[in-house]
């Protein structure tokens, strides 16, 4: 595959559809001018295309492995990671006080998409570090910040997130790992964590774990969980890694995909850790990292959609099969069904990118202005970005295999890797069902204010456009409004029964809004065609999903499932 970073599309979306130029008008992001953003994205594109993309297949064919207690990474990964770290790409949005660029999350999100499209497995490592950086910036004491943030931001050290245990997956409150106070103010952390991405590797000089554990006086459930920073090597006051801590990798998981990204079973045996934030307030601190990661994982899903779309188009432009009905096109791209698949892939990918970057921009505006409306908008869009971004990655990668036909099922073509790699993103950071329940639960606790505000934005775009496309989008927006009103009056389990179709309906309708807004800028027949296709062919699904969302839970329990 020859990956080409969609920098022009990103810039158009940021500037002409989402209005990201207003960021440079704020004091916080005054340096994020158009020229600065262009320079950043152009350099990130070069890194992704020239350095990372050539390592993607090596990670799949020669996975990371455990050797004498040390995880060895795939061929070329250490050099590729070094290029990421030395280029400053870990700290794009990090605090300049600790070596970061201090740029908007929306810019970081574009960079992250490019890194992940070129090599999803390796991109997860800096993504986790970015989440840890944000958690420490918000919750760690000054001493921990001064010691850890410069190293994490530079990429010399990497970060992980340790939540899951064999008995505690989505139910984080069931965590059993414990932390006993030491005389010197540190804690002895003991427990087993599973599914720890990049829990160990040979690419950086230290690996820093954020670990959920219970203090001796902890109450049961999530209210009794604290957060600890536990490094692989205990650093001295100058930040030099010292003796090995009581942390080891027990084994690596054998996975469907993402073979280049080591997923570790970690054992903490009285390991020295430092409390992050207040005792028993670990979930609040960890959610800072998880919310960052949820948007980041949505972008990981988007990245594989973009890469798979490019691969499918390249194949369709070259593959000849049968007689095509389109004059001048003698490859499978002339067949209507192949066109249908590629149009679906393009519309879903463009919609997912717009949702993710709108979410990122809302985060930036919330930080820059302090306005609660922006923060609430970002919070509402986060589960949509995560779930729809990763669902899109799975759906588009699957369609890319179908475009390839039999060749897609053959590993030598490499297209199946996109689906195998991206599939877990729909499970990461709270499954997509949990994201949907969050959307219809916590995110509607404002009486639907943000949801209705977004519906109003969609309707305004539709009325500006007018014509048949505008009318169809108005109809979809009103269906969404009705589904939202139903959710607000429904019992919790009835809401949850329709949460997944409601989220997808919201995402598809938002997609129509963004794509039509892009077409309204004028002068681009491709954008006109994509908006028209999405509204005519995909919005009917959104209206059907709104009806499905209001079905209630009773029908789900009427069917007896035998043991």
Query: For 477-491, how does the pLDDT look when each residue is reduced to its tens digit (9 = 90+)?
Result: 999 999 999 999 999
Distance of alpha carbon 391 from alpha carbon 304, whole angstroms: 11
Q: Which of 45-49, 138-142, 537-541, 556-560 has the least mean pLDDT?
A: 556-560
Give the confidence band of 173 by pLDDT, cuts at 50, 70, 90: confident
Does pLDDT of 288 surpass 90?
Answer: no
Distance of alpha carbon 391 from alpha carbon 219, whole angstroms: 37
3-state secondary structure of 102: coil
Q: Which of 272-276, 278-282, 417-421 has the least mean pLDDT?
A: 278-282
Average pLDDT (138-161) is 97
Average pLDDT (222-227) is 92
Give the confidence band of 236 by pLDDT, cuts at 50, 70, 90: very high
| pLDDT tens string 191-214 | 999 999 999 999 999 999 999 999
Give the confidence band of 167 by pLDDT, cuts at 50, 70, 90: confident
Q: Would you state the pLDDT for residue 90?
A: 98
Q: Would you state the pLDDT for residue 448?
A: 98
Catalytic sites, residue numbers: 429
Q: How much of the chain exceeds pLDDT 90, in percent?
A: 90
Per the model's pLDDT, the better-predicted residue between 349 and 523 turns out to be 349
Give the confidence band of 324 by pLDDT, cuts at 50, 70, 90: confident
Q: Would you state the pLDDT for residue 323?
A: 86
- The answer to whether residues 122 and 53 touch, using CB atoms and an 8 Å cutoff, is no
Per the model's pLDDT, the better-predicted residue between 541 and 523 turns out to be 541
Q: Would you state the pLDDT for residue 500?
A: 98
| pLDDT tens string 246-264 | 999 999 999 999 999 999 9
Average pLDDT (396-400) is 98
Q: Would you state the pLDDT for residue 376?
A: 96
Average pLDDT (370-388) is 97
Does pLDDT of 298 surpass 80?
Answer: yes
Helix and strand counts by DSSP (H, E) for the chain? 19, 11
* Count of all residues that appear for the chain in the document: 563
Q: Output the CA–CA distances (angstroms, integers) from residue 351 to 93, 144, 274, 512, in the order listed.
A: 24, 40, 42, 8
- 171: its two tokens: 């139910």
| pLDDT tens string 59-104 | 999 999 999 889 999 999 999 999 999 999 999 999 999 999 999 9
Q: Which of 233-242, 277-286, 358-367, 478-487 has the least mean pLDDT?
A: 277-286
Average pLDDT (427-434) is 94
Distance of alpha carbon 428 from alpha carbon 290, whole angstroms: 10
Average pLDDT (531-543) is 97
Q: What is the mean pLDDT of the chain?
A: 95
Does pLDDT of 460 surpass 70?
Answer: yes
Does pLDDT of 563 surpass 80?
Answer: no
- The answer to whether residues 229 and 140 touch, using CB atoms and an 8 Å cutoff, is yes
Q: Would you state the pLDDT for residue 189?
A: 98
Give the confidence band of 514 by pLDDT, cuts at 50, 70, 90: very high
Average pLDDT (98-116) is 98
Distance of alpha carbon 188 from alpha carbon 181, whole angstroms: 6
Distance of alpha carbon 547 from alpha carbon 350, whole angstroms: 25
Q: Would you state the pLDDT for residue 1?
A: 58
DSSP assignment of 229-271 equals EEESEEE-TTS-EEEEPSEEEEEE---SS-TTS-EEEEEEEEE
């Amino acid at each position: 595959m020859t990956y080409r970073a969609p920098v022009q599309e990103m810039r158009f979306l940021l500037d002409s559809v989402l209005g990201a130029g207003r960021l440079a008008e704020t004091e916080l992001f005054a340096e994020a001018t158009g020229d600065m953003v262009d320079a950043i994205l152009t350099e990130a594109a070069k890194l992704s295309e020239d350095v990372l993309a050539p390592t993607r297949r090596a990670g799949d064919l020669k996975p990371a492995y455990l050797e004498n207690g040390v995880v060895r990474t795939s061929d070329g990964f250490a050099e590729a990671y070094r290029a990421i770290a030395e280029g400053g790409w870990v700290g794009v949005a990090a605090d300049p006080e600790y070596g970061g660029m201090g740029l908007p999350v929306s810019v970081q999100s574009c960079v992250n998409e490019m890194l992940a499209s070129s090599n999803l497995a390796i991109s997860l490592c800096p993504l986790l570090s970015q989440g840890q950086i944000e958690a420490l910036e918000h919750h760690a004491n000054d001493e921990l910040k001064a010691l850890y943030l410069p190293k994490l931001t530079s990429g010399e050290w990497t970060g992980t997130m340790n939540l899951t245990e064999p008995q505690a997956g989505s139910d984080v409150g069931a965590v059993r790992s414990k932390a006993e106070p030491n005389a010197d103010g540190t804690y002895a952390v003991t427990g087993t964590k599973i599914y720890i991405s990049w829990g160990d590797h040979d690419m950086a000089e230290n690996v820093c774990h954020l670990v959920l554990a219970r203090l001796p006086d902890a109450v049961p459930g999530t209210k009794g969980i604290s957060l600890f920073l536990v490094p692989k090597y205990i650093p001295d006051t100058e930040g030099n890694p010292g003796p090995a801590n009581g942390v080891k990798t027990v084994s690596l998981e054998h996975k469907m995909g993402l073979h280049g990204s080591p997923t570790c079973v970690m054992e903490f045996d009285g390991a020295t850790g430092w409390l992050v934030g207040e005792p028993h307030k670990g979930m609040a601190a960890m959610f800072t990292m998880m919310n960052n990661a949820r948007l980041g994982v949505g972008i990981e899903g988007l990245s594989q959609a973009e890469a798979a779309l490019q691969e499918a188009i390249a194949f369709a432009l070259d593959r000849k099969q049968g007689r095509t009905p389109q004059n001048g096109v003698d490859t499978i791209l002339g067949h209507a069904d192949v066109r249908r698949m590629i149009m679906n892939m393009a519309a879903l990918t463009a919609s997912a990118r717009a949702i993710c970057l709108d979410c990122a921009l809302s985060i930036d505006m919330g930080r820059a202005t302090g306005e609660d409306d922006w923060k609430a908008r970002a919070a509402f869009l986060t589960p949509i970005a995560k779930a729809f971004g990763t669902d899109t990655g799975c759906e588009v990668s699957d369609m890319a295999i179908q475009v390839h036909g039999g060749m897609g099922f053959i590993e030598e073509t490499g297209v199946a890797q996109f689906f195998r790699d991206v599939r877990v993103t729909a499970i990461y950071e709270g499954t997509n069902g949990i994201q949907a329940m969050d959307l219809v639960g916590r995110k509607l606790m404002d009486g639907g204010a943000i949801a209705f505000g977004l519906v109003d934005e969609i309707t305004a775009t539709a009325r500006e456009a007018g014509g048949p496309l505008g009318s169809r989008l108005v109809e979809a927006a009103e269906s969404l409004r009705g589904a939202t009103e139903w959710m607000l009056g429904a019992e919790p389990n009835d809401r949850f029964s329709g949460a997944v179709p409601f989220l997808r309906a919201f995402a598809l309708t938002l997609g129509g809004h963004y794509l039509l807004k892009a077409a309204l800028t004028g002068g681009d027949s491709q954008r006109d065609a994509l908006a028209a296709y999405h509204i005519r062919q995909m919005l009917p699904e959104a209206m059907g999903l709104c009806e499905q969302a209001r079905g209630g839970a009773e029908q789900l329990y009427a069917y007896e499932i035998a043991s």
